[in-house]
Chains A and B, each alone.
Chain A
Amino acid sequence: MSAFDMSKIEEGRRLVNEAAALGMPLRLIGGVALWLRAGDEARALFGRDYADLDFVVHRRQSRQLRDLLEAQGYQPERTFNAMHGAKRLLYHAPDDGFQVDVFLDVFDMCHRLDLKERLDVEDFTLPAAELLLTKLQIAKLNRKDVNDTLMLLFDHELADGDGPFRLNGARLDELCGADWGLYTTISDNLAKVFDMVPECVNDDVVAAKLSSRIEDLQSRLVAAPKTVGWRLRAQVGRRKKWYQLPEEVVR
């Protein structure tokens, strides 16, 4: 792990602990969360430097979190927080070395994921299912997203519940079976990640394991029950755009 900058990982964990001491379920998402959930082998294979910290917290605890971050020397991005503070907060680390992005209850990017019921499920991070969705809901997947997805799939087995090294397939079924757009983006991205496996992994055994997990996941999503809304939207298909494209913010 010496190749990695551990400072953000440690800082992320520290902030979650500080929040927990105040009774606030602050949960990591993004690359740092995936690293924390991963085993040593996955970390060695897919670990990377992490540019910033991403969190989710209850919207009702926004003030508590703001007070905590500001007490720790984090500088609020006032303009951004005033304009978008109902769903997002942005802070800069005391040395301005990185930024902290906070989602309040909802993760609203290419697709919208309601996370408020999932904050208390596990310590430190969101459950693996939601972490996977936050990566695979990205309409314009990049290399880092593929890498992070493979890291999660490397040592998370498809299961019917949450927990360490468990990927809650039932939860994925439920969300993707209710939202055709989300299902479509996730499916497309699983296909892309599948195609990228040989490029990202040199070891044939590891590649086979990852490919197999992707296949299992794809099969499960295809077989999962679909809602009436899903079926109706499916009739329209790709003729109508099914995702939104987040914009990069100039800071």
Chain B
Amino acid sequence: MATKATPRAEMPGGGGGGLFVRNSTGLVRELTPFDALNIVLAAVLLPVGITEVMGFTPIFWPHANMFLSFLLATPLVAAFALVYLYFTIVMPRAGGDYVWVSRVLSPPLGFLSNFTLTFVYLTWVAFNFTFMLSVVGPGAAYVAGIHNHLFTDPSRGEMMLISTVLTILFGGLMIIGVRAAARFMAVTFGIVWIGMLIWFVLMLVGSHSGFVTHWDAHSGSTVSAIMAQANKLGFNNLGGIGWLATIYAMVYCFQVYVGFQFTGYVAGEIRDVGRTANTSIIGGLIISAITFVGGVALIYKYYGFHFFGSVTYMGLGGGTAHWTLPFAPWLASLTEFLPGPHFLAVFIAFCFVISILWWTPAGFLAGTRNLFAWSFDGLAPQKLTDVSDRFHTPVIATMVITLVVILLNYLNIYQGLGNYLLNIIVVMGIAFIIVSLSAAVAPWRRPAIHADAPRWARAKLAGVPAITYIAVVSLIAWIFVIYTAVHTGFSGTVGPKSMIEAFSAPIIAIVWYLAVWLVRRRGGAAQSFSKVFQEIPPE
């Protein structure tokens, strides 16, 4: 270094640049753009989503072509994604849709929709534990040749015990901190996506005739026998695409696509949220669309449309009484019949299991952040946002969510809550209609906030902002979902009991909100309570 200071020339790469203006010291948020995308992809949860879609649709709509269903549903889901992208950019706050709806449309509606969605997400956490232990776990055990009943056919008590232990472990992970959860999700993301990519590649390079040979040699039955028996029992998916069934089956696409909106719930912790929301929500949707559409196409190609419908009908639908094979034909089990070395099949099958562990922190994150948002507004005790002395994280909020998930585990395992999961799409749809409606009216209800929206949302057609048109499309799409769920009864259990169970969450939300409002009113604080909702909460 020369004695004279000519620093830019001397320092590596040179210096340069002038001075800047800054209003405050600022903050480096915890979640990176990758974390945000990871949360979205975990919430969409391709392995479980595609398992459910391909396990359920052939039974209820044999002629539905899920490849086309996904293609048709994607633009409609994109409208819904744009609604969440719009709000995430203009109001990046913990609690997402709760804050948006309560500030744009109405506080009780905001609480109702967000409470309902929180219930749905936490139900998914519980449902997915059960799904792991009763569906994908036994499937993986079959492929790996594990015969221990804990893996192949756990009792309800064992499922409850394992689910509870897992719930507590994940609660512990969240208590350690959001970075620890993000690191866990990054590792599991890597494992799951390597498995999914290998799965896709094997189905791509494998031929249907190769599969038939493999199945006939190792399954204990033959492809033609399965198809003949299913046909004999009344199953028929021949004769081309059933367009109405394909359109109705989009309801499953909506259900499994839901997840890209999770960015909104943790928006307050995401770095450069304006840019990150684009990559996580739209990027997440594009990746999900490609993998769902591509995955379904490969499944049809490798296993065959007719056979896949038949085997699903026999093993999971109306033919189960005649099913004699030692496995249920979920996708995880069917990896046994992939080409290539067997260890790859085992790895892929276990990736279906690991995917549920991958997703779980995302469910916890959404739950705790929504709880925070209620607490900040006085709809839940302030104690929920207390930072623990030991862990420096909101331990009480995390423990509340942990206890709720344990309760949902119980309801799921012992009371059959999971049987009504598909009806929950109705209440979820109502919540999303409310969010879409909020976005549609936001330019008029909150013009100052709308002014900060991205250009695509502010662009006008016939004097109406684009976001309004987009939100109306999203709203109509969710009305279609509700109509399909109720009209077709695709879950088979649309009755008073299931509907009461599904609607218990919004009913609790209404009672909860009224109770808080009455307490505040009695304490003379009703005015300050309503004033809270006129302000946008701090970040």
Contacts and interface: CB of A to CB of B under 8 A. Distances in A.
Interface centre among B20, B28, B29, B272 (most CB of A within 10 A): B28
B539 A250 contact: yes
B11 A191 contact: yes
A4 interface: no
A203 interface: no
B148 interface: no
B30 A218 contact: no
A237 B19 contact: no
Given A79-B537, A250-B538, A86 B26 contact: no
A187 B19 contact: no
B22 A142 contact: yes
Given A184-B12, A218-B11, 6 more contacts: A81-B385, A82-B394, A83-B268, A85-B387, A189-B15, A215-B4
Nearest to B393: A86
A108 B30 CA distance: 10
A192 B19 contact: yes
Interface in A122-150: 138, 140-143, 146
SS class, residues of chain A in contact with chain B: helix
Contact of B372 (A82, A142, A196): A82
B376 A79 contact: yes
Interface in A42-68: 54, 59, 62-63
Nearest to B376: A79
Given A143-B19, A234-B12, A249 B539 contact: yes
B187 interface: no
Contacts of B25: 30, 54, 101, 109, 246
Contacts of A80: 538-539
A146 B21 CA distance: 12
B12 A215 contact: no
Contacts of B397: 82
Contacts of B20: 140-142
20 contacts: A59-B392, A78-B385, A79-B539, A80-B539, A82-B394, A82-B397, A83-B539, A84-B30, A85-B393, A86-B391, A101-B25, A104-B392, A184-B11, A187-B12, A192-B17, A194-B7, A237-B13, A244-B271, A246-B25, A251-B539
B24 interface: yes
Interface of B: 1, 3-5, 7-8, 10-13, 15-30, 94, 177, 268-269, 271-272, 372, 375-376, 382, 385-387, 389, 391-394, 397, 536-539
A190 B12 CA distance: 13
SS class, residues of chain B in contact with chain A: loop
Contact of A190 (B7, B16, B271): B7
Contacts of B13: 184, 237-238
A219 B2 CA distance: 8
B385 to A, nearest CB: 4
A65 B1 CA distance: 45
A146 B17 CA distance: 14
A11 interface: no
Interface centre among A83, A101, A245 (most CB of B within 10 A): A83
Interface centre among B7, B8, B394, B539 (most CB of A within 10 A): B7
B11 A188 contact: yes
Interface of A: 30, 54, 59, 62-63, 77-88, 101, 104, 108-109, 138, 140-143, 146, 184, 187-192, 194-196, 211, 214-215, 218-219, 222-223, 234, 237-238, 244-251
A108 B4 CA distance: 33
Nearest to A217: B5
A218 B26 CA distance: 27
Given A59-B392, A109-B28, A249-B539, A191 B7 contact: yes
A218 B15 CA distance: 13
B392 A86 contact: yes
Contacts of A251: 538-539
A129 B516 CA distance: 52
B395 to A, nearest CB: 11
A194 B18 CA distance: 12
Contacts of A109: 25-26, 28
B218 to A, nearest CB: 49
Contacts of B16: 188, 191
B177 A237 contact: no
A248 B375 CA distance: 24
B24 A79 contact: no
A246 B27 CA distance: 5
B28 A246 contact: yes
A247 B268 CA distance: 11
A140 B22 contact: yes
Contacts of A248: 22-24, 26-27
Nearest to B176: A86
B27 A78 contact: no
Contacts of A244: 28, 271
A214 B3 CA distance: 11
A160 B198 CA distance: 57
A247 B10 contact: no
A222 B22 contact: no
Contact of B7 (A101, A187, A223, A234): A187
B1 A218 contact: yes
Contacts of A54: 25
Contacts of A250: 536, 538-539
Nearest to B16: A188
Contacts of A247: 26-29, 271-272
A84 B24 CA distance: 16
